[in-house]
Amino acid sequence: MNLANPVIWRRVMVVAPHPDDESIAAGGLLARAVTRGAIVRLVCLTDGESNPWPQRFFLRRWRITEADRARWGALRRAEVFAAVGCLGVPEDAVQFLGLPDQGLTRLMLRGEDPLGGLVADFRPTLLVTPAVQDLHPDHSATALLAARALAMLERRAQPLSLGYVVHGTPKDFERMPLALTTEERRRKRDAVLCHESQLVLSRRRFLAHVKDSECFTDQPFAESAKHPVLDAVAEDGVLRLRLAPRLRPFRRETLVLVTSDAPGSPGVRCAVHVGSNGEATVPIDALLPAARIFVKLEQRWPFLIFDRAGWRPALFHGATAGAWAGSSDADTLEAR
């Protein structure tokens, strides 16, 4: 299936980790869905209440209280309603889950599944979510939550899944652009401008997303070909991860995370130092009974939000089987 198929536009669900993602990543798509008569659902996982720098700018103080965060979250919800009004999306199509901003990775690793029931009940024909390559932890965690939700659906109920990257678009990402009409682009720009709380520090960056087309991938859960985790092999009771040479000098600041995307299955968070040979190891017993794992490199410098790289998927067949093999310039992973 592709976006030219009218069946795709019957029931459209867009998942946004934070208020504003719906506009900057998929505002044009939402406007088109409404024009085509689609039943639309926008799910905002968080209220974006823990975005500290714009809050500090507005409040003119360093310390942000819980009450401040609550007011900020309410403001950002209001901005979403203003934005979807520009796109033609009715307010009752918007659903806020109120999950913790900057905390979706922890939630995902606990095995929680906030999207599974929503996706199953709505039965989208088109599901739009962040892709695993996004460098913001909330975005890449949302991608894995979406993968869990899709794993619960029957094959005949599987929608066309599109992924978007807002932070750190990889060079090999542009696979399915959606060309926008002049009217769709105007609506998207108006929607982006509704997020005034974010524009004060990021106006140029936000408006840079208003282009002639929106870029999606039809493989939102596939790894970037340039991922710094080059390959992995399961042997001798451990999963051995080999990292790109340029990361070896930063081994003390690199955290390798491993998790399962199985529905209801808690993940495993493993802090692993990279050795002088550029390898990191994770005990296989810590991963079982996962059917599939993902790894990423997490940024550990203070005050920095973004990861070094998004999640990379890997097949995993058991304690004695090879896990997966790939390379930094490969397009696919091959099970060994």
At 265-283, the pLDDT tens digits run 667 676 676 777 778 887 7
What pLDDT does 205 receive? 93
pLDDT, mean of residues 281-301: 72
What distance in Å separates the CA atoms of residue 46 and residue 16, rounded to the nearest whole number? Answer: 8
What pLDDT does 263 receive? 62
Under 8 Å between Cβ of 151 and 229: no
Give Cβ neighbours of residue 41 (< 8 Å, ≥ 6 apart): 11, 12, 13, 14, 93, 95, 118, 122, 124
Answering whether pTM is above 0.75, one says yes
Give Cβ neighbours of residue 156 (< 8 Å, ≥ 6 apart): none
pLDDT digit string (tens) for 23-38? Answer: 999 999 999 999 999 9
Work out the number of other CB atoms within 10 angstroms of the CB of residue 158.
14
Q: Is the pLDDT of residue 95 over 70?
A: yes
Q: Is the pLDDT of residue 6 over 80?
A: yes
Q: Is the pLDDT of residue 334 over 60?
A: no
The SS3 call for residue 254 is strand
pLDDT, mean of residues 275-303: 72
What pLDDT does 171 receive? 67
What pLDDT does 174 receive? 65
Q: Is the pLDDT of residue 96 over 90?
A: yes
More confident site: 317 or 100: 100
What pLDDT does 321 receive? 40
Q: Which two tokens stand for residue 18?
A: 């934070």
What pairing do the DSSP bridges indicate for beta strands 213-216 and 176-179? antiparallel
Query: At 72, is the pLDDT very low, low, confident or very high (cuts 50, 70, 90)?
Result: very high
Q: Which two tokens stand for residue 102?
A: 């900057």
pLDDT digit string (tens) for 103-115? Answer: 999 898 888 899 9
pLDDT, mean of residues 292-321: 68
| Least confident span in 21-30, 65-74, 144-153, 323-332 | 323-332
pLDDT digit string (tens) for 146-182? Answer: 998 998 898 888 999 999 999 987 766 667 899 999 9
**How far from chain centre, in Å, is Cα 306?**
12
pLDDT digit string (tens) for 200-223? Answer: 899 999 999 999 999 999 989 887
Mean of all residue pLDDT scores within the chain: 84
Burial class (CB in 10 A: 0-12, 13-18, 19+), 309: buried
What pLDDT does 333 receive? 27
Question: What percentage of residues in the chain have a pLDDT greater than 90?
Answer: 51
Query: At 198, is the pLDDT very low, low, confident or very high (cuts 50, 70, 90)?
Result: very high
What pLDDT does 237 receive? 81
More confident site: 93 or 251: 93
What pLDDT does 251 receive? 47
What pLDDT does 282 receive? 79
Q: Is the pLDDT of residue 327 over 90?
A: no
